[in-house]
Structure 1
Amino acid sequence: MGNNSTKIALITGASRGLGRNTAAALARKGVDIIGTYHSNKAEAEETVAAIKALGRKAVMFQLDTGNVASFPAFVSEVRKALKSVWSRDGFDYLINNAGIGVHAPFAETTEDDFDRLMNIHLKGVFFLTQKLLPVIADGGRIVNLSSGLARFSLPGYSAYAAMKGAVEVLTRYLAKELGPRGIAVNTVAPGAIETDFGGGTVRDNKQVNDFVASVTALGRVGQPDDIGGAIANLLSDDNRWINAQRIEVSGGMFV
């Protein structure tokens, strides 16, 4: 695949929050970035500038990860960028990070809410990974993002958490089926963190923030750096033998 000395990571939802933090953490470890953003081009351009400031290459593409019909065109854009920017046919790491939060009691969750969550968090992850298989280098890695909410239950997240539970099962199947290609696949499950995810509730609502801190063994709410650094570390060569695992990065919530 040409010059493979530099690793390349493809991160969905890389323009903000955890995705941007992960991109920066990987860039600091010498990894180049292909990112996707949903709608905010200015944030995407800021992310590219931040990665370039760290001395790495970066490109960003618009992608709705819930719209499977758009994936073939996206994959061909990725292939073109790999050729023109890196003179390569493939990338090394896929991080399925893009997501939205819907907070609604089970009794009030609408079919539209359910479908939107499913399309982005499960169907999108399934088929984007499938479509990218020919472009992921043998010996590469995949990280799927889940949530602490797939292990513990907080009312209001039934649909979201159900999709994440499905992603954790999917991760094990991917590990098994992609094993012959030397591709390791793991789940990272963050606990509650201070980002603008779900309207920034954990970050901005003091009552929620205090509650999370009170049920976390380390006594505080998670920061994006806690997660981005863990993902970058998981993708280092030292962790090549970790496979088919769910790794919760929550500071010990509800232990």
Structure 2
Amino acid sequence: MTPAPSSAPIALITGGSRGLGRNAALHLVQKQMDVILTYRSSQDEALAVVQQIEAQGGRAAALQLDVSQTATFPAFVASLQALLARHWQRARIDHLVNNGGTGLHLPLAQTTEAQFDALLNVHLKGPFFLTQALAPMIQDGGSILNISSGLTRFAVPGYGAYATMKGGLEVLSRYLAKELGSRGIRVNTLAPGAIETDFNGGALRSNAELNRFVASVTALGRAGLPDDIGPVVASLLSEDSHWITAQRIEASGGMFV
């Protein structure tokens, strides 16, 4: 049976099956937003998030996408269009969150060209061309949120290549804000600090010494949790932030201030 049309705003979150993307998706439903999340390989985890959202009264769906594979974007757009028509009886989304990504902790001197290219494809080239492909499908007055990192402001040895890509993403956000502003589309960057997720194999969550170090250099005295970030994503996409664009918002608890 075809679902009834929904008037709720729709947010597309890349990498929404786990970590910060999952947490953001669960907080968006509390703002009465519907969610389409993408996953690279963890279909079961993605469907579990969909079920959680539906259990809270929201509407959600999951689509497979590898953000590093730009050649697949036309097929993804076609799948998204079909999903919107089938599940929402609509042709557009309201918000895009470029969240999907992977980490690398390695000194610059040891970083290979292949590792550099892999980070580039996931964190900069992918979001650039995915946003380009999806921009015509974003409602005027909607928003784009690019997820960066506190590591673009402070330097921690071993994260240079990763932070370089995120720095490029932050510049992209400002240019998108300028070029899409005539459509009323807001574009911002959210830069989390160190968060206890699966990032880098869940090191911050499982390594007590590392966790203590992060707490010692953070003004609020602890490492971040996913629940510290999801509400910020929801707020930046909501009408509460209708006059915020072209900004870098850091949510790090005051790390390295």
Scaled by the length of structure 1, the TM-score of the pair is: 0.98
Aligned partner of 2:250 in structure 1 is 248
Alignment of 1:201 with 2:203, yes or no, is yes
Cα deviations by residue, 1:14-69 (Å, 9 ceiling, x for unpaired): 00000000000001111101110010111011111111111111110111000000
Deviation at 1:171, TM superposition (A): 0.3
Aligned partner of 2:175 in structure 1 is 173
Deviation at 1:4, TM superposition (A): 7.3
Aligned partner of 1:140 in structure 2 is 142
Aligned partner of 2:58 in structure 1 is 56
Matches of 1:65 and 1:218, distance apart in 2: 34
Aligned partner of 2:75 in structure 1 is 73
* 2:170–2:248 contact (8 Å) kept in structure 1: yes
1:98-177 matched pairs, under 5 angstroms: 98-177=100-179
Deviation at 1:186, TM superposition (A): 0.1
Matches of 1:32 and 1:131, distance apart in 2: 21
Q: Aligned AA for 2:236?
A: L
Matches of 1:84 and 1:242, distance apart in 2: 33
Aligned partner of 2:11 in structure 1 is 9
Cα deviations by residue, 1:67-109 (Å, 9 ceiling, x for unpaired): 0000010011111111111111101010000010011011101
Matches of 2:97 and 2:186, distance apart in 1: 12
Q: Aligned AA for 1:111?
A: E
Among candidates 2, 22, 30, match of residue 24 of structure 2: 22
Scaled by the length of structure 2, the TM-score of the pair is: 0.97
Q: Aligned AA for 1:187?
A: T
- Figure out how many residues of one structure are paired with residues of the other and give that number: 253
Question: Residues 4 and 175 of structure 1: is their aligned pair in 2 closer, same or farther, counting only changes over 3 Å?
Answer: farther
SS of alignment partner, residue 55 of structure 1: coil
Q: Aligned AA for 1:199?
A: G
Question: Which deviates further from its counterpart, 23-32 or 3-12?
Answer: 3-12
Q: Aligned AA for 1:121?
A: H
Q: Aligned AA for 1:215?
A: V
Alignment of 1:39 with 2:80, yes or no, is no
Matches of 1:237 and 1:140, distance apart in 2: 9
Q: Aligned AA for 1:38?
A: R
Structure 2: 5+ residue stretches without partners: none
SS of alignment partner, residue 21 of structure 1: helix
Matches of 2:63 and 2:127, distance apart in 1: 17
Matches of 1:180 and 1:40, distance apart in 2: 37
Q: Aligned AA for 2:19?
A: G
Q: Deviation above 6 Å: which 4+ runs of structure 1?
A: none
SS of alignment partner, residue 253 of structure 2: coil
Cα deviations by residue, 1:182-215 (Å, 9 ceiling, x for unpaired): 1000000000000011110111111110000000
Matches of 2:12 and 2:237, distance apart in 1: 12
Matches of 1:87 and 1:177, distance apart in 2: 29
Aligned partner of 2:94 in structure 1 is 92
SS of alignment partner, residue 185 of structure 1: strand
Among candidates 224, 227, 243, match of residue 225 of structure 1: 227
Q: Aligned AA for 1:149?
A: L
Matches of 2:154 and 2:174, distance apart in 1: 20
Q: Percent identity?
A: 61
What is the Cα-based RMSD across aligned positions, in Å? Answer: 0.9
Deviation at 1:5, TM superposition (A): 3.2
